[in-house]
Every structure is written in structure tokens, then in C-alpha cells.
Amino acid sequence: MLAPLFVALLTSTASTMVAVYFIAAWNVASLVIEYVCILMVYNSSPILSVPKPLLPEENQASAYLGNSRWQDLKYCVTSPLILGKVIVSIKRNIITIISSITPLSASLSYAMLFLTVLSMGGTMIAYMVAKQYSDPVISGIRAVCVVGKYIWKTGLAATFISPILTRRLGLIRCGLWSIWSQVFCLLPVVLAFYIDDGAGITSTVLLFLGMALSRVGLWSFDLAETQIIQEGAPNDRAGLISGFQYSLCNVFGELS
């Protein structure tokens, strides 16, 4: 929450390059600390070093593998037995995902929400810079968005809005109402792009008020979608669908 304001302070008092170098150094230092903490956790829990027991079919396949890792890799690439098991596993996972049509639809809908520029990401910040918003204004807006995100996600949306909608409308309709409320709240945001007043008050209010209000529907749909997967997918498929959704979210996030 304080990061946007701190970066704005660096760029306004020093320069943009100083802020870039500081963030890069901070990330490198954080990476070292994270790996040290991971190593401490690994060493403090001996069970993490215990190999996972092989299933019977995995045991059968491992009997064909050589002693060296190069031989193992070469055998996995060339062996019809290993390749056949991989292909069968992929087909089984695809069929499993497709057969869970209701959780899959909700999961795809949620993942596609990441294919957007109507959020406080890099593309939106570049647009604000092109519209000649000052660094303090951009940082302030980002801070407000972060505060609003945590208020809506952990407070009102999670505690009041989503449970009320679920009780009165049902889980599926709660998700539908939530995602459509996000769409309607983003209509003024789209309109703001056609109001050519630079960083004027009209386009600014439409742009950021619409994005702030759309977060309500977004997080309500997030909660509904998570519950749909938990209730609609069998236990052995929920993890597979969640992993599929996570991968799609990353893909759509990169495409945006």
C-alpha cells in the first residue's frame, strides 16, 4: 500500500532511473532472503526430505530407468512405455477438465478477467503517463486502488455482499450478478477513453470511479467461482481444475 507513494517520492525527488535501480536491488535482496527462509523451513522439517512413495505403476516404470540422470532423461524421451503413460495421463486430465463443465465454465470466466487493461497495471499506468498525469497523482490513485481492493475483498465483499447474494439468489446467480455488475461498472471507464480532455476531471472521475466500483463485482465473482469449484468438482478434480485456471490466469495476464 505504501509502495506506490514511496516510488513516487523517489521519482520526484531523485529520478526515474534511481527508482528503477532501487527496485531492482530490493528485488535481489528479497530473493536472497526468501531462499534463506525456504532453506530454514526445509531444514526444520525433516519430513520434507522424505521421498514420496511411488504408486505401483510408477514403480513399474522406474524399474526401467538407469542409474544416471542422463540415462533417465534419454529413456523418458525415447521409451514408448513412458511416452505412452504421459500421453494417456494428458488425455485423462483433458477429459477430466472438460467433463466438469460447470466448474470449468466458471474457471474460464474468471481466468479471462485477467485479459484486460482496465485495471491498475502497467498498461493503465503507461496510459496515465501519456495523458500527462503527474507522478504523485498516479501514486495516490494506485494507493487508493490498493486500499479499495483490500476493503472490498476482505471486508464488505467477503463478509456482507457475497453471502447475502448467495442466500437470496443461489450460488450460480450470485456469480452471474457479480460478473455482470463488473461489466456495467466498467462501461463509464470505456466512455472515459472517448472524452478527450487529457487529465481532466470528467474523464478522471469516470475512469477511476468505474474501476473502483467494478472491484465489488470482481471479488464477489471470485468468491462465488471458488465456491463453485469446491462444491461442483469432485475432490480428485478440484486441484486439477484450479491448476488449469491458474495457468490460464498467467497466460491471459501476460497477453494483456
pLDDT in tens, 117-155: 677 777 777 888 888 887 777 777 776 666 655 555 444
Q: From the CB of residue 37, how many other CB atoms can be counted at a distance below 10 Å?
A: 10
Q: Which residue has the higher pLDDT, 53 or 6?
A: 6
The answer to whether the CB of 214 falls within 8 A of the CB of 186 is: yes
Range in 16-25, 141-150, 193-202 with the lowest mean pLDDT: 141-150
Range of lowest pLDDT (62-66, 113-117, 182-186, 246-250) = 62-66
Mean pLDDT, to the nearest integer, of 86-110? 62
Residue 168, amino acid? R
Instruction: From 116, 232, 233, select the one nearest 179 (Cα to Cα).
Output: 116
Domain ranges of the chain: 1-50, 57-94, 101-255
Q: Would you call 114 exposed, middle or buried from its count of C-beta atoms within 10 A (0-12, 13-18, 19+)?
A: middle
DSSP the chain: --HHHHHHHHHHHS-HHHHHHHHHHHHHHHHHHHHHHHHHHHHH-GGGGSPPPPPHHHHHHHTT--SSHHHHHHHHHH-HHHHHHHHHHHHHHHHHHHH-HHHHHHHHHHHHTTS-SSSSSHHHHHHHHHTT--HHHHHHHHHHHHHHHHHIIIIIIIIIIHHHHHHHH-HHHHHHHHHHHHHHHHHHHHHHTT---TT-HHHHHHHHHHHHHHHHHHHHHHHHHHHHHHHHS-HHHHHHHHHHHHHHHHHHHHH-
Compute the distance between CA of residue 186 and CA of residue 212 in angstroms, rounded to an integer.
9
Q: For residues 169 and 241, what is the distance between their CA atoms, to the nearest angstrom?
A: 25
More confident residue, 12 or 171: 171
- CATH class of segment(s) 101-255: mainly alpha
The pLDDT score that the predictor gives to residue 63 is 47
**Which pTM value belongs to this model?**
0.59
Question: What's the confidence (pLDDT) of residue 253?
Answer: 78
Alpha-carbon span 37 to 237, nearest angstrom: 32
Mean pLDDT of all residues in the chain?
73
CB 94 within 8 A of CB 237: no
Nearest CA to 106 among 12, 196, 208, 241?
241
